[in-house]
Amino acid sequence: MTDFVSVTELSGDLVTKEQVQRMVHRYQWAGKYCANKDVLEVACGTGQGLGYLLKLSKSFEAGDYSKELLSIPVKHYKKRVSLSQFDAQDMPYEDLSKDVIILFEALYYIPNPDKFVSECKRILRPNGIVLIATANKNLDDFNPSPHSYNYYNKDEMDKLFTKFGFQSNFYGYVEVDKISLTHKTLRFMKKTAVFLGLMPRTMAGKKMLKRIVFGKLIPMPFEITGEECEYSPAVKLEDKGDDAYKVIYCASSLKEYRDV
């Protein structure tokens, strides 16, 4: 089985402040869609946002492909959250049983994304929605995960979901032109390392690079509260191109398709 542990932001691991902010922000963004809904998070990893979504949702379940990763939230949340091991291409949930399906920073790990989207279509109710967060592959310092299959930009994701009757809205987070000088330095170092083929392949290796630039790192929380940073709304990408942001969010709905 693929070793996803070495490429995942693990709870308790030392990370930058920006990594924590990005983690918190994507759950804050998703939370707007989850109030009083039946929610499923796919590829939940070590589950930093599970408790936050649990408090907002009518019902909440989550799971991951990796048994080793899943053992961390199982130990932390115990019986508070229903957690299962499953493949995103073949999910163990009934037809028309969920309102929201979440997949954060994992679409690129799925061998056949068509199967995942087809499963979402089967599981979601008529007004259901899929929420995606992914790294922006259009940036010049983009560095793919060693276990990834295919990254999707805005237009490619739109085509993927449109094939199955979804209509998508896209949003950007972390505007490249507004990041700090320190982060600009890290982007330059990362771009150079990617160009020279020297970019570390694991989170441990990347952590060493970040220590050089940022100095002291902080622990990734086991469970976020949503209060770690103030929420700033993501920007709808009709206003600016997707090249302007480090993170792309996608909200794909079946509503109009099933209402026809």
CA dist 35 and 17 (Å) reads 27
CA dist 3 and 21 (Å) reads 25
Place of tokens 């206003």: 239
Q: pLDDT for 94-147, tens place per residue?
A: 999 999 999 999 999 999 999 999 999 999 999 999 999 999 998 877 888 888
Q: Which residue has the higher pLDDT, 179 or 64?
A: 64
* Residues sharing a CB contact under 8 Å with residue 132, sequence separation 6 or more, in sequence order: 103, 104, 107, 157, 248, 249, 250, 251, 252
Percent of the chain with pLDDT over 70: 82
Sign of the CA dihedral 28, 7, 148, 86?
A: negative
Nearest CA to 85 out of 95, 96, 74 is that of 74
Helices 203-214 + 181-196 axis angle, to 10: 140
Claim: this prediction has a pTM higher than 0.95: no
**pLDDT score of 116:** 98
Count of other CB atoms within 10 angstroms of residue 69? 21
By mean pLDDT, which of 9-13, 25-29, 94-98, 206-210 is the weakest?
A: 206-210
Q: Name the pLDDT band for 257 (thresholds 50, 70, 90).
A: very low
Nearest CA to 63 out of 53, 74, 51 is that of 74
CA dist 53 and 47 (Å) reads 10
Q: Measure the N-to-C terminal CA separation of the chain; round to a whole number of Å.
A: 42
Burial (0-12, 13-18, 19+ Cβ within 10 Å), 166: buried
Question: Considering the chain, what is the average pLDDT of its residues?
Answer: 86
Q: Which residue has the higher pLDDT, 92 or 216?
A: 92
Q: pLDDT for 180-230, tens place per residue?
A: 555 555 555 555 655 556 555 566 555 555 554 555 789 999 999 999 999
Question: What's the mean pLDDT in 146-155?
Answer: 92
**pLDDT score of 185:** 55
